[in-house]
Structure 1
Amino acid sequence: MTSAVDQQRVAGLRSQRIILGSSSFARKQIMTELGKEHGFSYEVRTADIDEKAIRDPNPEMLVRLLARAKREAIIAKMKAAGEPLQGLLITCDQVVVHEERILEKPGSVDEAHEYIDGYGRSPASTVGAVLATDLGSGRAAEDVETSYIHFRPIPEDVRARLIEEGEVFYCAGGLMIEHPLVEPHIERMDGTQCSVMGLPKHLVLRLMLEAAGL
């Protein structure tokens, strides 16, 4: 249960300009839910960076670096547009780790098949970074969260339908746990659904409060 003090802190977000630096449908959906739960609204900006230009063998460091790069790209766009640097900017990134490999968005049909087929052999983990930055003060807070998903084998016809729909190409590892074709093949999850989908609500809220100094 949220304490009265915590509720007062969260209430402080309602007067803040909040910017989600992501074009992900799933992240926007989660952020909308979070806003409804706590009474704040948000707007969207996109970074449009070349994510593959940023590399690190450590998945936690990789997602941190990508979240920071997205922040810098959005700030640069705002400056170029003469937009005042005000508000809380939320940037994030996520990769899937499977059998010690970092999986990002599938680059081909074959790669998507390979990724999704592999989840039936062994669990996958999602490693996601969230970075909250107060654009006025420069104060920032970031953290990484890892969740684990255990799958039953995903049949070839299901993989083919997912790939034909095309959304898997916009998801790290082609992983779409919320999809009705995928849900029946999930054995269990160690972590929250919003974390696996790329934007853990509890983490976003905590980091926004820290960055805002609330």
Structure 2
Amino acid sequence: MELEKEIEGKMTTCNSSFKIILGSSSLARRQILNEMGYEFTVVTADIDEKSIRKDKPEELVMALAEAKVVVSNGMVREKPNSKEEAREFIKGYSGGHAAVIGSVVVSNLTTGIRKGAWEKAEVYFHEIPDEIIDSVIEEGSTLHVAGGLTLEHPLTSPFVEAVVGSTDTVWGLSKALTEKLIKDNLVAAK
């Protein structure tokens, strides 16, 4: 119990007893870690995520270790390769739903202990008008996010009917899962 209190204190006060390195260039993940109160450094690898393939989305996100994927109509939707593909993705969500599967991997670089898990959230959409889809695509952000659409985008957020699960997962980093894995890793290191 004392160890758990010590770890909780370290996690909530950003104690310098451990440092966090975010292995992602995602602005959303940076924002989430900031909201959680963590100080961190961003270090990214120049890898071709599309060259890493797994049959199951849950295995894919763990293999990518810092990614999320969207699954719609049984198809994995990563970052679109073109505006046409982004349009196809978003039209597929219109009046339907998509699952976002994200992973978190926490590696202790001192002990070598690595803890990881994935989490899923479902997003249900109202019909999204073609003119909204066109505006979002022309803006250009669709090519930089898994599934081609951000939940919080001001043009599309009114068309989100419901989110079942954590919106943090949809944004790219589950707060609860991150806290759990950091805690598990610190406990395993003691």
1:209 Cα shift?
Answer: 1.4
2:127 alignment partner in structure 1: 153
1:118 alignment partner in structure 2: 92
User: Cα 1:6–1:166, aligned 2, differ >3 Å: closer, same or farther?
Assistant: farther
Contact kept in structure 2, 1:139 and 1:212, CA below 8 Å: no
User: Cα 1:197–1:7, aligned 2, differ >3 Å: closer, same or farther?
Assistant: farther
| 2:67 aligned counterpart, secondary structure | strand
Q: Among residues 130, 145, 151, which one is paired with 2:104 in the alignment?
A: 130
Distance 2:96 2:2 in 1: 43
TM normalised by structure 2 equals 0.91
1:186 Cα shift?
Answer: 0.7
| 1:199 aligned counterpart, secondary structure | coil
1:11 alignment partner in structure 2: 9
Q: Among residues 32, 53, 56, which one is paired with 1:55 in the alignment?
A: 53
> Percent of aligned pairs with the same residue?
40
Distance 2:131 2:2 in 1: 51
What residue ranges of structure 2 are gaps of 5+ in the alignment?
Answer: none
1:8 Cα shift?
Answer: 3.2
| Matching of residue 23 in structure 1 with residue 25 in structure 2 | yes
1:165 alignment partner in structure 2: 139
1:157 Cα shift?
Answer: 1.2
Distance 1:200 1:155 in 2: 30
Distance 1:7 1:177 in 2: 35
2:41 alignment partner in structure 1: 43
1:4 Cα shift?
Answer: 8.9
Distance 1:104 1:176 in 2: 12
- How many residues are aligned here? 184
Q: Among residues 32, 35, 40, which one is paired with 2:34 in the alignment?
A: 32
Q: Which amino acid aligns with 2:54?
A: D
Q: Deviations over 1:118-143 (max 9, x none)?
A: 10142100011110000011001111
Q: Which amino acid aligns with 2:9?
A: A
Q: Deviations over 1:149-180 (max 9, x none)?
A: 00011111111111111111111011200111
1:64 alignment partner in structure 2: 62
User: Cα 1:147–1:4, aligned 2, differ >3 Å: closer, same or farther?
Assistant: farther
Distance 1:136 1:144 in 2: 24
What residue ranges of structure 1 are gaps of 5+ in the alignment?
Answer: 68-91
Over aligned residues, Cα RMSD in angstroms?
1.7
Q: Which amino acid aligns with 1:20?
A: L
User: Cα 1:155–1:7, aligned 2, differ >3 Å: closer, same or farther?
Assistant: farther
Which 4+ runs in 1 deviate beyond 4 A? 3-7
